[in-house]
Amino acid sequence: MDSQERVEPRVVWAVVESAIGPLLLAAGPGGLVNVVFHATDEVRDRAVERLAARLGTEPVEAPGSPLLAEAIRQFEAYFAGERRDFDLPLDWSLTSGFNREVLRELASGVPYGTVVGYGDLAGRVGQPGAAQAVGMAMGANPLPVVVPCHRVVESGGGIGGFGGGLETKRKLLALEGVLPEPLF
């Protein structure tokens, strides 16, 4: 075996089952880089192609990789109701500028079981008039669930939008005790 065969790929991915359906988790040496909802074969293939284009490396399916082990363990614990916070290294390379600033504030400042309004989150990053831009940042979040965009709601009490679908958002908020469990 030559030395290149022993080197861990730069980006690895796996699909894991969860209470909200299959999730694609992708990670590299810098940490978890992407979480993708509804990771059917078609969605998975598109996500892996996008990662390759954005990161300049071909992601490799490697569910047993040490780069993914802790993320998989923490996701399983979260969906089992045994974990409230993720404690993972995150690779922020798929986001930048305002979006990154908003997502970092969301990750550190909106705890499990709470929600924040789009406008309130905009104010927290010093842009009180940027509620719509916060909505765009949530839609572009490469690390949903870990960076909890499901916790961002409309100021008037509406649930708001969600890239994973409103049913998924409701399930995540119910898991965290913010909403009643959906009846069906």
Tokens found for residue 47: 């996500």
In the annotation, is 65 catalytic?
Answer: no
- For residue 168, the one-letter residue type is T
Q: SS3 for 142?
A: coil
* Structure letter (DSSP) for residue 90: B
Report the distance separating Cα 133 and Cα 130, nearest Å.
Answer: 5
The active-site residue out of 149, 152, 153, 172 is 149
CA-to-CA dists, residue 39 to 1, 24, 35, 183, angstroms: 34, 6, 9, 24
Provide φ and ψ at 34, rounded to 5°.
-155, 140
- In this structure, what token pair is assigned to residue 179? 């909403």
The H-assigned helical ranges of the chain are 41-55, 66-79, 97-109, 118-124, 131-139, 166-175
Residues designated as active site: 149
